[in-house]
A and B are shown apart, each in its own frame.
Chain A
Amino acid sequence: MENIVDPILEIKDVSISYDKNVTAVKNVSACVERNTITAIMGPSGCGKSTLLRAVNRMHELYKNITVTGEILLNGENILTRDPIEVRRNIGMVFQRPNPFPTMSIYDNVLAGYTLNGISLSKHKRDDLVEKCLRNVALWDEVKDVLNKRGTFLSGGQQQRLCIARSLALQPEILLMDEPTSALDPIATKHIEDLLVKLKKEVTILIVTHNMSQAMRISDRSMFMFLGELIEYDDTKRMFESPKDDRTRAYLTGQMG
């Protein structure tokens, strides 16, 4: 991928292995453009989640995983920085909506602050909650039930709440691992619209196994296969004229 003007994230020769003998990601290098949506596609088990999770250093929670290479955020290697600071700057939304079950909707939005031990004035908190929930188009639906538990909401609403929770910390990058695969088509559409709107504020890296979703929302796409980054291009160009045979096979549905 050549025409990166303003890279926010540079992945340099990253390899990730589970238990030494299983290498899930092999020598991946890529640059991500600021304020874009970049989709990561590929058949299941090709290492999409593994690569994504390296970016906010989730792998460090497990002893058996080793990550090599460099991941630069604004030119600084995040693999050697304080993981807590990195995670504050790089939000993550998971496959299944996972609002904190014992917290209210209000507290869920603010959870990032609570968990970082940052206290805000009541006024600031109210403002922030409203702003974030408006940002994910959830405010009108929940403004009267802010004290209810987040788990009372529908799946799609929960996922938007989780996005709001990540955005509250004003991250530079939002990582999303198949964020709509557990949702119905209407909720999915809702979130897709949202993401397109949000890319003005935050760079989005989204794993999806749904090609039409990548087509609809992403500016650039990566295609991974068996742990390797096979192709990385403008989404439109990749869908129209894939360079690699494996990409073509995948895009035309000849591969799982």
Chain B
Amino acid sequence: MKKDSNVKARIFKNNLLYVVVCVMSALTAIPLLAILGEVLVKGWQQLGWSFLTEATPNAFKAMMAAQKGEPIPGGIANGIVGTLMMLFTAAVVAIPVGILCGICLSEFRKNWFAKTVSYITDLLQGTPSIIIGIIVYIWVVVPMKGYSGFAGSVALFIMMLPLIIRSTEETMKILPESLKEAGLALGGNYWRVMLKVMLPASFGSIFTGILLAVSRVVGETAPLMFTALGGAVISYDLGRPMSAVPLMIWEFFNDPNLQDLIWGASLFLLTLVLCLNLLAKRIAKKWKI
């Protein structure tokens, strides 16, 4: 009998713990859901075709519309174009450099130089983005005598690089050594084995890492303030100031006439990040070997 009640007590404890865990996880989900809800409720009416294809209205037009009680005309197309262009430019350089660097770090993991680089990568990853912005300002904007989309790309590149290096390095490290040996045992030269065997075997996780890196920097505002600056018209010229979606949110916030646009832009950015994350998850699952 005593034993029986003991078991009951244990079952009770077990259930209690289960409930506590559930409540705790629900608590952590609350802020996320609250944010999503708020942005969705306030932003969804603005999200329409013209919002995605037209540039920011100027303050005067916006004021006129507001006075007449009409919705604010225009949209965030200049920001979308800028974000995509700068991200693309940054990624085109960061991906090959990051992957190469990641491979080297994993291959020469015992080497003191690789260890140092690995440590620096960690530091770079932890550097506040605003500092990266100000550094790129000094390194790029000042010598080039002007803000530009290019400078923005450089800032994003610096932010993406450590993320890609890290994910490549970690992925390559968990591949079995025997895979590389099998390739070399067939007489393959080192880089061919890396390119045709090791890299494809880790492609899924590296790609996931890249997507996560992109989704991490897509919302960065601070480094772009000092570099790309922003712009009211759709511009495809990386040599000139360029807008970006997170920059626009900041601009809308500062302009009383444009404040209604904040939520649409936020919803757009949030959706983009969520999609990238979901995509990354799916790919990670699909390419698991």
The interface of chain A, by Cβ under 8 A from chain B, is 56, 58, 61, 84-85, 87-88, 91-92, 94, 96, 98, 100-103, 111-112, 114-117, 151, 162, 165-166, 169
Which chain B residues lie closer than 8 Å to A96 at the CB level? 178
Q: B202: shortest Cβ distance to chain A, in Å?
A: 9
Q: B182: shortest Cβ distance to chain A, in Å?
A: 5
Supply 5 further A-B pairs (C-beta < 8 A) apart from A88-B187, A98-B178, A102-B197. Answer: A84-B189, A102-B200, A111-B197, A116-B188, A166-B185
Rounded to whole angstroms, the CA-CA distance of A103 and B187 in the bound complex is 17
Given contacts A101-B201, A101-B289, contact A85 B187 (CB under 8 A): yes
- The answer to whether A100 and B197 touch across the interface, beta carbons within 8 angstroms, is yes
Residue of chain A at shortest CB distance from B185: A92
Q: B108: shortest Cβ distance to chain A, in Å?
A: 10
- The answer to whether B201 and A58 touch across the interface, beta carbons within 8 angstroms, is no
Rounded to whole angstroms, the CA-CA distance of A98 and B181 in the bound complex is 10
Rounded to whole angstroms, the CA-CA distance of A10 and B178 in the bound complex is 27
Residue of chain A at shortest CB distance from B287: A102
- The answer to whether A165 and B186 touch across the interface, beta carbons within 8 angstroms, is yes
Candidate in B176, B184, B201 with the most chain A CB atoms within 10 angstroms: B184
Can you give 14 contacting A-B residue pairs, CB < 8 Å?
A61-B180, A61-B184, A92-B182, A98-B178, A98-B182, A100-B182, A100-B197, A100-B201, A101-B201, A102-B200, A114-B192, A114-B196, A116-B188, A162-B182
**Total contacts A-B at CB 8 Å:** 77
Which chain A residues lie closer than 8 Å to B192 at the CB level? 114-117
Q: B244: shortest Cβ distance to chain A, in Å?
A: 36
Among A85, A87, A102, the residue within 8 A (CB) of B184 is: A87
- The answer to whether B186 and A88 touch across the interface, beta carbons within 8 angstroms, is yes
Rounded to whole angstroms, the CA-CA distance of A111 and B180 in the bound complex is 13
- The answer to whether B181 and A58 touch across the interface, beta carbons within 8 angstroms, is yes
- The answer to whether A56 and B185 touch across the interface, beta carbons within 8 angstroms, is yes
- The answer to whether A112 and B184 touch across the interface, beta carbons within 8 angstroms, is no
- The answer to whether A87 and B203 touch across the interface, beta carbons within 8 angstroms, is no
Residue of chain B at shortest CB distance from A84: B187
Candidate in A58, A101, A151, A165 with the most chain B CB atoms within 10 angstroms: A101
Rounded to whole angstroms, the CA-CA distance of A194 and B182 in the bound complex is 21
Which chain A residues lie closer than 8 Å to B17 at the CB level? none
Given contacts A98-B176, A151-B289, contact A112 B186 (CB under 8 A): yes
Given contacts A114-B196, A117-B192, contact A102 B186 (CB under 8 A): no
Given contacts A87-B187, A114-B196, contact A102 B178 (CB under 8 A): no
Candidate in A58, A87, A100, A166 with the most chain B CB atoms within 10 angstroms: A100
Which chain A residues lie closer than 8 Å to B182 at the CB level? 92, 94, 98, 100, 162
Rounded to whole angstroms, the CA-CA distance of A114 and B193 in the bound complex is 9
B residues 152-194 near A (Cβ < 8 Å) are 176, 178-189, 192-193
- The answer to whether B187 and A112 touch across the interface, beta carbons within 8 angstroms, is yes
Rounded to whole angstroms, the CA-CA distance of A56 and B182 in the bound complex is 11
- The answer to whether A91 and B183 touch across the interface, beta carbons within 8 angstroms, is no
Rounded to whole angstroms, the CA-CA distance of A100 and B195 in the bound complex is 12
B residues 61-91 near A (Cβ < 8 Å) are none
Residue of chain B at shortest CB distance from A89: B187
Which chain A residues lie closer than 8 Å to B183 at the CB level? 100, 111, 115
Q: B289: shortest Cβ distance to chain A, in Å?
A: 4
Rounded to whole angstroms, the CA-CA distance of A111 and B184 in the bound complex is 11
Which chain B residues lie closer than 8 Å to A94 at the CB level? 178, 181-182
Given contacts A102-B201, A114-B196, A115-B196, contact A61 B186 (CB under 8 A): no
Rounded to whole angstroms, the CA-CA distance of A115 and B182 in the bound complex is 11
Among B176, B187, B197, B203, the residue within 8 A (CB) of A116 is: B187
Which chain A residues lie closer than 8 Å to B193 at the CB level? 115
Candidate in A88, A94, A102 with the most chain B CB atoms within 10 angstroms: A102
Among A85, A91, A151, the residue within 8 A (CB) of B186 is: A91
Candidate in B183, B186, B197 with the most chain A CB atoms within 10 angstroms: B186
Which chain B residues lie closer than 8 Å to A101 at the CB level? 179, 201, 289
Which chain B residues lie closer than 8 Å to A166 at the CB level? 185-186
Given contacts A91-B185, A92-B185, A116-B186, contact A100 B179 (CB under 8 A): yes
Q: B59: shortest Cβ distance to chain A, in Å?
A: 55
Which chain A residues lie closer than 8 Å to B197 at the CB level? 100, 102, 111, 115
- The answer to whether A87 and B186 touch across the interface, beta carbons within 8 angstroms, is yes
Which chain B residues lie closer than 8 Å to A117 at the CB level? 189, 192
Residue of chain A at shortest CB distance from B175: A101
Residue of chain A at shortest CB distance from B188: A115
- The answer to whether A169 and B201 touch across the interface, beta carbons within 8 angstroms, is no
